[in-house]
Structure 1
Amino acid sequence: MKADPRQKEVARRFRKLTGAFLALVFTGISAWSAQAETRTFTDIAGRKVEFSLPVERVLIGEARQMSVVAALKGKEAFDRVVGWRNDLLLKDADTYAAYLKVFPHIAGLPQFGYIPSGTFDLEAAIALRPDILTLNLEAYRPAVENGLIQKAEAAGIAVVVLDFRIDADRNTEPSIALLGDIFGAEKKASEFIAYRRAQLARVEDTLAKAKPEKPLVFIERAPGISGDIECCRTFGAVNFGEMIERAGGENLGSQYLGEKFGSLNPELLVAANPDHVVVTGSNWAQESDIHRFVNVGPSADMAEARKSLAALMDRPAFRNLQAVSRGHVHAIWHQFYGTPFDFVAIQKFAAWFHPDLFPDLDANATFREMYERFMPFAYEPGYFISLDTVIDHDGRQ
């Protein structure tokens, strides 16, 4: 039977359309394959980690790491984030509120507990199908011991260890670079690292040239947050202890604790009689049981912060210290120790410890400039206070 010419034309057009469709499909697959790139990175724990770029779904295992992501990605900071730890809301509620204004959807972002405390829900994490789970270095060993890393990797999740806290001098820059790789912001990461180096050099170059005597400094870790308020939790030669040393001070805790966190005997503090006392503070309203901490941080009330700081200096171990009698008592934002913003704290320490060497060094102005250059929301002052600080009518320094 002779074929109908109309059927031949329909068949011809169908083959043409099918061919075009398949060509588009294969072109799309080829383009995706060309864009996707599997690379191997070395994380801060020294592990070789392989993942494909670009990364689409990230679970942030420490919410304070978002400070770096925000600096690198701006208004796109949360575009690839599928969940995060609950530490920002608990330990830095004011910064969480600042994020919430710009990114209101994060109120519904899944939150997770802390791996070392056993409150991290791995099954819920796997259900979010992340490509990568970021961890802080202090959570790495517990994550190995409880099998979390092995289970996550078996589920196809690459685990990347970062550090802005344990050894900030060594690990901050590579951690920023790793987040730049993960979020496709390598150039911005390089810019931020260069900015941080330049701000540190403003202190370190001057100190290297002047070689001043080092004042003895005692820094107290989060007094008034929980339990009683007796002295004297502090830092060894790490973290804030290291920042004090880089700012030209001698950290009292380094003499007794080495590279650890710990407590000193109050009698030792009295005998040492430091030249400066610094306490760390933040908005810990969500987790404090005694609410006698110094609330410093974005948009903090400076007059109230100074009252809280003065009250802490009325404890027996502090009343007769020369630092107290001279007004060399300060509070600084606790969260400087878990972010790459440590250069701001170092600048402030240097201005406190060596005012003659740094009369024009304004850490508040530095932090404001950094926000204007890198962050997706406006800067709010309130990160430092001293007992000898003059407060204006608006409650600002």
Structure 2
Amino acid sequence: MRRIRAAFTAVIAVLVLWVPMALADESQAPITVTDIAGREVTINAPVKRILLGEGRQLYLIASLDKEDPLSRVVAWRNDLIEADPATYTQYLQAFPKLAKLPAFPGQENGLIEIESTIVHKPDVVLLNLEAMRANEDANYIEKLAELKIPVLYIDFRHYPLKNTEPTIRLLGKIMGREARAEEIIAFRHAAMARVTDVIARAKPERPRVFIERIGGYADDCCLSFGAENFGKYVELAGGHNIGSDVLPSTFGQLNPEQVIAVNPEHVVVTSADWEAYVPGGHWIPLGPGADPKETHRKLEWFTTRDAYTDIAAQKARNFHGIWHQFYNSPYEFFAVQQLAKWFHPELFADLNPDATFAEYHRRFLPIPYRPGYAVSLSGSAD
């Protein structure tokens, strides 16, 4: 009996030592990563508590963690609710607990509520690259570092073709979803190549394109993009973005006389449902499930702007509307495919951007695909 007790005690002792070790294999461990700003940051990974400095960061979080993207999110900025209400509704229907997720208003310059951040005790705070200057001026990063709360900068907006894939890899690494991240990147490569390979072979004449940025959000004309973001998408799709000739940075403004002088052959309006910001405005309510008759009706108004008087695009009715959030998401492959079909319909007759985006939803997102991200007047009667 004593031998049995001794053996039992020994087994218990081994289990006492082994169980914490086994659990440790499932727990977090410190890793050092480099964020999009080039900062080396040490994080306990895989992260279990993420604070989203912008709600639209959910686009990528959900792609990496399709089963339950909210399981790691402890708080978020409320911009997705206001800037993309249709997508928010989809996620709310799929995950009703989203209604109880703490949300904070944040600021346009990217500053976060530091008190709220401390209360939620995140493993990491995700901030967009453009927030870097404001947070440095406010010493937010140092204040959070004193509390062992690391911050990572990511970017889909300023240099999306350069920074989106590093951002996907970065979040894949800290979430323990590295293989998933590579699957997303491979999908994006294939989707983009369906346009860029054709353009490289055919070398078509590039039509002049003007992009009206945030159409209907403000009365100002003519907000646009320089050589980055949608300006780059236009070039990849076989067009020539006239803003690239004038604007020195990603975002800027042309005057109507400049637009008329260049005589663009296509006008592309980026817009969305901005009822929360500009009630009853001229914005086009593009996004999942948008009514095509309503988006077509609201796009018509843009043909009447003074900046487009007698330009080639107006005469040919080559006016197009596209979901503004492609400027700030990992989904820009849809925008490139759709622009290519508008600029070179004969080269891309068999390309179906909706089918591509539907496949992305099926493989990577927890919500079903609903068309409504683009509208065009091309081919319609006057």
Which bracket does the TM-score occupy, shorter chain normalised? over 0.9
For 1:90-105, list aligned pairs within 5 A: 90-105=82-97
Tell me which residue corresponds to 2:250: 260
Maintained 8 Å contact 1:116/1:142: no
**CA positional deviation for 1:62:** 1.5
Correspondence for 1:340 among 316, 321, 330: 330
Does the 8 Å contact 2:52/2:73 carry over to 1? yes
Which residue of the partner structure matches residue 135 of structure 2? 143
Q: Size of the alignment, in residue pairs?
A: 379
**Are 1:222 and 2:214 matched, yes or no?**
yes
TM-score of the two chains, using structure 2 as the length reference:
0.94
Q: Percent identity?
A: 44
Amino acid at match of 1:194: A
Query: 1:109 pairs with 92, 97, 101, which one?
Result: 101
Do the aligned residues in 1 keep the contact of 2:106 with 2:113 (CA within 8 Å)?
Answer: no
Query: Is contact 1:218–1:251 with CA below 8 Å preserved after alignment?
Result: yes
Are the aligned partners of 1:225 and 1:290 in contact in 2 as well (CA < 8 Å)? no
Equivalent AA in structure 1 for residue 92 of structure 2: L
Residue 242 in 1 paired to residue 228 in 2? no
- Give the deviation of 1:30 after TM superposition: 1.6
Q: Following the alignment from structure 1 to structure 2, what is the Cα–Cα distance between the partners of residues 75 and 213?
A: 45
Say whether residues 1:64 and 2:56 are aligned partners. Answer: yes
Matches within 5 A, 1:1-397: 24-35=15-26, 36-115=28-107, 117=109, 120-226=112-218, 229-388=219-378
- Which ranges of structure 1 fall in alignment gaps of 5 or more residues? 1-8, 392-397
8 A contact 1:278–1:332 mirrored in 2: yes
1:58-83 CA-to-partner distances (Å, cap 9, x unmatched) read: 11112111111111111221111101
* Cα offsets for 1:163-190 (capped at 9, x unmatched): 1111111111110011111222111111
- SS state at 1:75 partner: coil
Q: 1:119 to 1:40 in 2, by over 3 A?
A: closer
Range moving further from structure 2, 105-114 or 236-245 = 105-114
Q: What is the rounded CA distance, in whole Å, between the counterparts of 1:104 and 1:375 in structure 2?
A: 16
C-alpha distance in 1 between matches for 2:40 and 2:91: 32
**Given that residues 132 and 158 in structure 1 are in contact (C-alpha distance below 8 angstroms), is that contact kept between their aligned partners in structure 2?**
yes
Q: Distance in 1 between matches of 2:246 and 2:350?
A: 34
1:23 Cα deviation from its structure 2 partner: 5.1
Over the aligned positions, Cα root-mean-square deviation in angstroms equals: 2.2
Instruction: State the 1:390 CA deviation.
Output: 6.7
Matched position secondary structure for 1:379: coil
- CA deviations on 1:303-359 (whole Å, 9 max, x unpaired) are 111111101221222232220221210000000111110011000011111111111
User: Does the 8 Å CA contact 1:225/1:291 hold for their aligned counterparts?
Assistant: yes
SS at match of 1:309: helix
